[in-house]
Amino acid sequence: MKGTLHLVRAFGIDIAVHWSFLLLIAWIVYRSATIGVGMVATGVAIVFVLTIFACVVLHELGHALTAKAFGIGTRHITILPIGGVAALERIPTQPGQEFLITIAGPAVNVVIAAGLIGGVWLLGDLAMPETTYSAAGTGFFLSLGVVNVALAVFNMLPAFPMDGGRVLRAVLAIWLEYARATAIAAGCGQLMAVAFAAWALWGGNPFLLLIAAFVFFGSKAEVAAARQRAVLTRQRVGVAMQTDIHALPFDAAVGEAAQIMFEGRQHDFPVFDAEGGLVGLLRREAIVEGMRSRGPDAPIRERIETDLPVLDENDDLAHALEMLRTHGPALAVMHRGRLVGLLSQEQLGRFLMLGGVPGR
């Protein structure tokens, strides 16, 4: 994500903080100065907020590691002043998986809260001066425990893109079509966003206003994504793929592919062996690299990408898009052992943009 500072890499996931997080720190310093709580209390307030955001990171790791258990990777975790975002590589196709991945986040906060409150009860608490965040008399760990309860409750509000919205959708999807379930959950989210905004303006809380905007536009994005997925699920690879394609023999030279690529007709080429079996794909980058380093006579042989999955012309486009996102910009389409076409992300984009194939 743009404008972020990379912090650490944990479980193979990059964790970063957005620059706007500094605004939150600045706000605490400003508030502390206006209330006049002094340097120590300001420092404690900042440490307190940093500890809360450590809990937010753990919450996001709850999502990411549960997703990992279902074979779904996480591109990165970003911490914003209004909470965290775990960018999953794909949305799970089964509502049950989405439910578990979603519920794992707030569950982490519940566990932390139980640990802290239990610990304070057994061992006592650390005294905290009166800060922007706490009144005198509340200890550090109890306050943190209470914040974790609040985080769990707040995230479970049924408003996209917060966890509660996803849980509501997963539950509705038991009875309803996915797109319909999303629309209802999103409508609920937008109502809540309006309520947040009203509350924010009433109480003069700028962060709540930010959250309201985040929820409002997040809900709209979820509806668009679900609609696109519904369209993709109904269509087959066979209607969207490119059929007029060039395939190359195993012993061809890079120049042959470069010529066709130059004419703008095709960027990725299926490659066959002498028996007519599909070996793999020659990709755009491999052609460019071959032309640059060794010229048009360079053999394509050592530049072929093998071990790639193939699509079937009867696969639905939602599945195809997932495969393209994981395995690269284009994949060969086979049917009954025969190459019938090529599907690229670019081609799929054209298909969606035009709302189908003209004249077909």
Which residues lie near Zn ion (CB under 5 A)?
105, 163
Nearest-angstrom CA–CA distance, 126 and 143: 10
| CB of 163 or CB of 268, closer to Zn ion | 163
Closest distance to Zn ion from the beta carbon of 83 (Å): 8
**Beta strands, E only, 13-110:** 13-18, 74-80, 83-88
Taking the alpha carbons of 284, 286, 287, 292 in that order, is the dihedral positive or negative?
Answer: positive
Helix H or strand E segment including 149: helix 140-155
| CB of 105 or CB of 145, closer to Zn ion | 105
Nearest-angstrom CA–CA distance, 204 and 208: 9
166 contacts 88 by C-beta, under 8 angstroms: no
Summary count for the chain: helices (H), strands (E): 12, 10
Closest distance to Zn ion from the beta carbon of 13 (Å): 14
| CB of 55 or CB of 254, closer to Zn ion | 55
Closest distance to Zn ion from the beta carbon of 155 (Å): 5
Closest distance to Zn ion from the beta carbon of 79 (Å): 12
Q: Distances from the Cα of 272 to the Cαs of 123, 248, 281, 301, 338, in angstroms?
A: 71, 6, 9, 11, 11
CA atoms within 13 A on the CB side of 347: 28
Closest distance to Zn ion from the beta carbon of 43 (Å): 29
Q: For tokens 């960027």, what's the residue?
A: 267
| DSSP per-residue string spanning 307-354 | S---EETTSBHHHHHHHHHHH-SEEEEEETTEEEEEEEHHHHHHHHHT
Closest distance to Zn ion from the beta carbon of 357 (Å): 40
| CB of 57 or CB of 287, closer to Zn ion | 57
Among 181, 179, 216, 178, CA closest to 196: 216
| CB of 55 or CB of 287, closer to Zn ion | 55
Nearest-angstrom CA–CA distance, 227 and 273: 41
Tokens, residue 310 = 């193939």
Closest distance to Zn ion from the beta carbon of 70 (Å): 16
| CB of 151 or CB of 241, closer to Zn ion | 151
Nearest-angstrom CA–CA distance, 329 and 356: 20
Instruction: Give the nearest residue (CB) to Zn ion.
Output: 105
Nearest-angstrom CA–CA distance, 254 and 270: 13
| CB of 163 or CB of 222, closer to Zn ion | 163
| CB of 55 or CB of 320, closer to Zn ion | 55
| CB of 120 or CB of 152, closer to Zn ion | 152
32 contacts 130 by C-beta, under 8 angstroms: no
Closest distance to Zn ion from the beta carbon of 85 (Å): 9
Nearest-angstrom CA–CA distance, 219 and 248: 46
Closest distance to Zn ion from the beta carbon of 200 (Å): 21
